[in-house]
Amino acid sequence: MTDTIISSASKELKIGHEQPFVIIGERINPTGRKILAEEMKNGDYSRVEADALAQVVAGAKMLDINAGIPLADEPRILAEAIQLVQSITDVPLSIDSSIVAALEAGLEVYQGKPLLNSVTGEDERLEAVLPLVKKYGAAVVAISNDEAGISENPDDRFEVAKKIIERAADHGIHYSDIVVDPLVMPVGAVNSAGRQVLHLVRRLREELKVNTTCGASNFSFGIPNRKGMDGHFLSMAIAAGMTCAITNPLHEEVMQAVMSADVVMGHDNNCAKWLKKYRQPADENAGAGARGGRPGRRRRVRR
């Protein structure tokens, strides 16, 4: 099975079908976070630092870095945020922008092999982003939409992914360096959204041999108990073959679902990670009782 290798300056990470599922922390993103956006715009990265450290402690194996702030110098801000985060943690990063100049600014300062987020099936985007992927030796997220937009037909989205992989090959980029995002639609708006993604993930794994990812919270958008819904969605996506996702590792329901899915898939050897996190500590009194004999039984003294 295919492994996609991502790295920081000192740590290598494998994304693959026989590897534990990779959580990519989503919180360093100013979209919808007015305070964070204003701070980043003004060069204050204290909240970025706190979010980075908290996500790694919570179990994120990668971090997504986004600096999409309207009317701001996105290339500069993205590069500065990447340098800061790489100075305080050794996990690999996903460089996330819709602006090509910002992607290149991030690539120029990055230490290691990043995941570039993202390229689509639009011809203009392909010709702008794929040369950067090749030049800097990065891996890239391939989003399954093109000039026609996002199709509700999963087989159409499969064909877009196939087109991106073929065009990447023309640039000398191996399919192992492509992680396909099959596009998760909100299940509250599209009732078949879950089945569509599971169908797509299976086809992408079996036919194109690529790794897959998604923005997991898109699935539950607009419905209650989103954390529980996202956790169940991810566990089913993992069973279908998804290998990583951008989500919030601070949500315990999501992390528990992912960890349990790793156990079911045989990706947590001897349940070691699960046991480390959830096994209850030994009862000291029970231990003392065991040393003294059976609890509650008194020794008979001969006279």
pLDDT in tens, 124-159: 999 999 999 999 999 999 999 999 999 999 999 999
pLDDT tens, position by position, 185-235: 999 999 999 999 999 999 999 999 999 999 999 999 999 999 999 999 999
Query: Is 137 domain-assigned?
Result: no
241, 204 in Cβ contact below 8 A? yes
Average pLDDT over residues 69-83: 97
C-alpha span between 197 and 150 (Å, rounded): 13
Mean pLDDT of the chain: 94
pLDDT tens, position by position, 273-282: 999 999 987 6
What is the count of structural domains for the chain?
1
Q: Is 146 helix (H, G, I), strand (E, B) or coil?
A: strand
Closest CA to 4 of 100, 97, 113: 113
How far is CA 91 from its chain centroid?
A: 12
Closest CA to 209 of 171, 179, 236: 179
* Residue 197 Ramachandran class (φ > 0 left, ψ -120 to 50 alpha, else beta): alpha
**Cis omega before residue 220 (within 30°)?**
no
Helices (H), the chain: 34-41, 46-58, 74-88, 100-109, 123-136, 154-170, 193-203, 226-240, 252-264, 272-278, 284-291
Gap between the terminal Cα atoms of the chain: 73
Q: Sign of the C-alpha dihedral, residues 181, 186, 190, 196?
A: positive
Q: Is the pLDDT of residue 285 over 70?
A: no
* pTM assigned to the model: 0.92
Please give the residue that has the higher pLDDT: either 64 or 299.
64
Query: Is 208 domain-assigned?
Result: no
Q: Sign of the C-alpha dihedral, residues 90, 91, 97, 99?
A: positive
Phi, psi angles (nearest 5°) of residue 150: -100, 115
Range of the domain at 46: 19-111
> DSSP secondary-structure letter at 206?
I
Phi, psi angles (nearest 5°) of residue 171: -95, 5
Query: Is 302 domain-assigned?
Result: no
Residue 290's pLDDT band, with cuts at 50, 70 and 90, is very low
Q: What is the per-residue pLDDT for 1?
A: 80
Phi, psi angles (nearest 5°) of residue 15: -105, 120
Please give the residue that has the higher pLDDT: either 286 or 103.
103
pLDDT tens, position by position, 154-187: 999 999 999 999 999 999 999 999 999 999 999 9
Q: Is 119 helix (H, G, I), strand (E, B) or coil?
A: strand
Query: Is 47 domain-assigned?
Result: yes
Q: What is the per-residue pLDDT for 44?
A: 98
How far is CA 227 from its chain centroid?
A: 16
Q: Is 35 exposed, middle or buried (0-12, 13-18, 19+ CB in 10 A)?
A: exposed
- What residues form DSSP beta bridges with 190? none
Amino acid at 11: K
Query: Is 256 domain-assigned?
Result: no
Closest CA to 21 of 219, 298, 228, 273: 273
Q: What is the per-residue pLDDT for 301?
A: 45
Residues in Cβ contact with 115 at an 8 Å cutoff, skipping those fewer than 6 apart = 4, 6, 24, 62, 92, 93, 94, 95, 138, 139, 140, 141, 179
